[in-house]
């Protein structure tokens, strides 16, 4: 049985996340479990999620895999959460449904998650773009 779609394709926050995520080398989007997943060989971001333990929904959020130091710092922020299913593997949810989203920080989180999950050749390609 397929999962129900849990996002609005016309969502302007999703459009901004798509713009940032799909600009990364080799990135593509697929729908899995009813949500947009941004991937290379494996996922580096998911749009929308729920908090582990409470099941509180965050439909306008991204789930990313930061490095461990950044993860600890992020989880101290009021706009982040430990996502169901992904949290135990080191992922963090970042709520976008608030007045002042720092899109530079969102881009940095997507970049960091990409670097944590992407093949080395794609990380080298990203580094070459910035050189």
Assigned token pair, 91: 């992922």
Q: Is the domain covering 12-25+32-122 a CATH 1.10.287.610 domain?
A: no
Helical spans, DSSP H, in 22-119: 68-74, 103-117
Instruction: Give, rounded to a whole angstrom, the gap between the first and last alpha carbons of the chain.
Output: 47
For 4-44, the pLDDT digits (tens) are: 999 999 999 999 999 999 999 999 999 999 999 999 999 99
Domain boundaries, the chain: 12-25+32-122
Distances (CA, A) of 79 to 71, 94, 115: 13, 6, 23
For 60-108, the pLDDT digits (tens) are: 999 999 999 999 999 999 999 999 999 999 999 999 999 999 999 999 9
């Amino acid at each position: 049985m397929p999962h129900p779609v849990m996002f609005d394709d016309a969502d302007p926050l999703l459009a901004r996340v798509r713009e940032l995520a799909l600009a990364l080398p080799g990135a593509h989007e697929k729908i899995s479990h009813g949500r947009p997943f941004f991937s290379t060989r494996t996922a580096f971001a998911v749009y929308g999620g729920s908090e582990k333990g409470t099941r509180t929904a965050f439909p306008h959020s991204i789930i990313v895999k930061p490095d461990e130091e950044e993860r600890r710092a992020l989880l101290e922020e009021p706009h982040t959460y430990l996502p169901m299913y992904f949290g135990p593997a080191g992922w963090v949810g970042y709520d976008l449904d608030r007045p002042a989203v720092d899109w530079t920080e969102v881009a940095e989180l997507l970049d960091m998650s990409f670097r944590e999950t992407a093949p080395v050749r794609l990380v080298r390609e990203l580094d070459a773009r910035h050189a």
